[in-house]
Amino acid sequence: MGIIKVGPIRMYGYHGCLPEEEKIGGYYDVNVELETDFSGAEKTDNLKQTVDYCDVYNIIIREMKIRSKLIEHVAARMADALKKEIKGIEQLSLELTKIAPPMNGDVAMVSVIVER
């Protein structure tokens, strides 16, 4: 078993409960940590025996484009899609961070972590 980390993936999205967030949007970062057996790839240098980082990236980008009110919902959707669509993921941890959320205060970010 081994760990593959991808991120931060920086994206722009339109998630949030406020009407302004749907129109203006904001920046988000995603960090993914995948536990998988890539011992075959270590020996053979064959991409088919590990997780392709491009697949991870493309799934994250695709799910970010689907608007949600809550980042918890977006993060869960991303994690579920990764687990379902990529073979060999034993466990994963995904952190979705909303940069400079619109709050009544100086808050740099809010993030959620989901595990599968």
pLDDT band at residue 115 using 50, 70 and 90 as cut-offs: very high
Average pLDDT over residues 42-50: 97
Structural domain count of the chain = 1
Average pLDDT over residues 84-109: 96
Query: Which CATH number do you get for residue 102?
Result: 3.30.1130.10
Sheet (strand 89-99) strand order: 2-13, 26-36, 89-99, 109-115
What residues does 27 pair with on adjacent strands?
A: 12
Residue 92's pLDDT is 98
Express each pLDDT in 74-89 by its tens digit. 999 999 999 999 999 9
End-to-end CA distance of the chain: 16
Residue 48's pLDDT is 96
Q: Where are the beta strands (DSSP E) in 1-116?
A: 2-13, 26-36, 89-99, 109-115
The first and second tokens of residue 42, run together, are 């270590």
Average pLDDT over residues 18-47: 96
Query: What's the rounded Cα separation, in Å, for the pair 35 and 91?
Result: 5
**What is the residue range of 77's domain?**
2-115
Helix (H) or strand (E) holding 72: helix 71-85
Q: Average model confidence (pLDDT) for the chain?
A: 97
